[in-house]
Amino acid sequence: MSLMTAEQYINSLRNLKRDIYILGEKVDNAVDHPMVRPSLNSVAKTYELAHDPQYQGLFTARSTLTGRPVNRFCHLHQNTGDLISKVKMQRVLGQKTGSCFQRCVGMDAFNAVDTVTFEMDRALGTTYNKRFRDYLAYVQDKDLVVDGAMTDPKGDRSLRPFELPDPDLYLHVVEKRSDGIVVKGAKAHQTGMLNSHEILVMPTVTMGQEDKDYAVCFAVPADAEGLIYIYGRQSCDTRKLEGGDIDVGNAKYGGHEALVIFENVFVPWDRVFMMGEHQFSGALVERFAGYHRQSYGGCKVGVGDVLIGAAASLADYNGCGRASHIRDKLIEMVHLNETLYACGIACSCEGKKMASGTYLIDLLLANVCKQNVTRFPYEIARLAEDIAGGIMVTMPSEKDYRNPEIGHFIDKYLCGVKGVPTEHRMRMLRLVENLTLGAAAVGYRTESLHGAGSPQAQRIMINRQADMDSKKKLARVIAGIDKE
């Protein structure tokens, strides 16, 4: 099959029969639901740009499994050029959508699972890597969206999975059969889950011997029996139900998360890629996290470009674009944003070939990248709110603006510089609000903190990867204590 078009992708989701709940109600048609559709449009952009001559080289690659062109989101990185192209592609998508485009988690899961299963097979004599690559070839051939599912609810974080009074708080195997396994549990914060064809499940922490039933990696179709989807609430999300577009801020694009329940879901053996090999669970978690922390040096930067552009536009609309303090704030925003991008590119350039042939980013620099992402977007957002002014959060609604009795007052009193329609100023203000406080803030501001692991997770990895002993050795040599 050739690469799907955006329209083909959207229509392909209509064939999935799933149990989906949004705001307490079961939804039969999520594809056209006003709270879901903007996020679906963002994923569709990954298909659209793969056919655009201007971006095709960035958004597609040649599969090492089939030899055919595939969407880069389904590709195994074969060199540092692939790692760099990934980050550049993500920045473009952030610029085009101003939101989360949801396919990064699956791409990062593919590459992590490939490297770990290869090493698992070599050490244990299993055949997981062949199973996985057969599965990935299927995904590539069908040009599917796969949701990478790692985060478990966890419950009491002071307890190991096997110690919890409710074993379902970590997804686990409840039955082994001749034809496969049965799993139960949940995965939380699942980005783009309602827009995915498949789910690739991974363990969420390093497992011990007692946790071996939780050390499981597998793939299932998104409409597998026993899956229940509960849509995640976002700030200002019901504005999408009001019928207008100004107050939404970014009416066409968006992102979403969901809580996914696995209620005794069957997985055939050919889709099982880890089953009890707890000693490899830590490597899978660390590599997936590393790839995903690299991703934030692209996607968050692209959205940052949009936010910087919106703040600069508002400064112009307000007549203060040339003020020195405004220019200085915009410079600081650019500086912070490009620093994030530099880290994403750096960890890609320093990537290394793994035993499977797939390239892994430099884990230390990837974690430094994400640690910066937990801080810099917050400052970028603060500066954007500063430049926008308080009207961003006190402005009347679009319905008031459209009201023939009072709309003319809003048009008169909320104007900016001459020549810029009041509506344009209102739209830009709502865009900044959307990116810093509203639904898009989930995929920019808050996700920058908690996505791909919260700040302490990166600090643990930075400490682990820093090789402090070698730095001490350097100092002893320079100080004349040791010889080189």
CA distance 66 to 228: 33
First to last CA, the chain: 58
Other Cβ atoms closer than 10 A to 318? 18
Q: Which residues pair with 230 in a beta bridge?
A: 21, 259
Chain center to CA of 109: 11
CA distance 101 to 254: 8
Please list the alpha-helical segments (H only) found in 356-404. 363-373, 376-388, 398-402
Strands 172-177 and 60-62: unpaired
Number of H helices, E strands in the chain: 17, 14
CA distance 347 to 277: 29
Q: Residues in the chain, how many?
A: 484
Q: Which residues are known catalytic residues?
A: 100, 104, 191, 257, 292, 296, 299, 447
One-letter amino acid of 432: V
Radius of gyration of the chain (CA): 24
CA distance 6 to 40: 10
CA distance 37 to 139: 23
Which value, to the nearest 10 degrees, does the dihedral of the CA atoms of residues 390, 392, 398, 402 take?
50
Chain center to CA of 372: 16
